[in-house]
Amino acid sequence: MAEEDSVKKIQKSINDILGIKSGLVKKRPSVKAKRRELFNIALTGLAHVNGRALGLKHDYNVDFIEYDETFFNIIEALLDLQFNKQQKSIIEWFLYDKFLPTGEILILTDTNTGNEIPTETPNDIWDLVQKYEKENNK
């Protein structure tokens, strides 16, 4: 509500200064921003489904991994359509290898600098995926 009031105040100021009736329109997200958002939704959902299946197997000895295999094969095929080999490797590492069953979390390190590479969120993975897209297009 406060944001809406701020927009109305700005619009009123513009109207007063220019002496006309104006309108403000919220900027549409760019294609790049929309792709990032969709990637984040997909990666978050896939991580949740994978974690749920592993948790059921570990906690209750109920194996949904085989049941979900067709679903994951479809997702893997879609990843092949959209991403190159390095990009797909990063995505799969985040989904299947980063979080160990013991509760430990693996980290990526830049071999040149020794610095940790951020991989905590789907946004971090998106940034890495974009980096490898650029490197392959050179």
Strand partners, 117: 108
- Name the pTM for this structure: 0.75
**pLDDT mean over 13-23:** 84
With a cut of 80, say whether residue 91 has pLDDT above it: yes
From residue 94, alpha-carbon distances to 28, 39, 51, 61, 90 in Å are 30, 13, 12, 24, 6
Q: In the numeric block, which tokens belong to residue 33?
A: 């921003």
Identify the domain containing residue 75 by its residue range: 27-136
Residue 9 within any structural domain of the chain: no
Residue 4 within any structural domain of the chain: no
- If one counts the domains in the chain, the total is 1
> What residue ranges in the chain does DSSP mark as E strands?
108-109, 116-117
Residue 103 within any structural domain of the chain: yes
Q: What is the mean pLDDT of the chain?
A: 88
How far is it, in rounded angstroms, from Cα 65 to Cα 39?
23
Residue 13 within any structural domain of the chain: no
Q: 64-81 pLDDT, tens per residue?
A: 878 888 988 999 999 999
Residue 35 within any structural domain of the chain: yes
Residue 12 within any structural domain of the chain: no
- Give the total residue count for the chain: 138
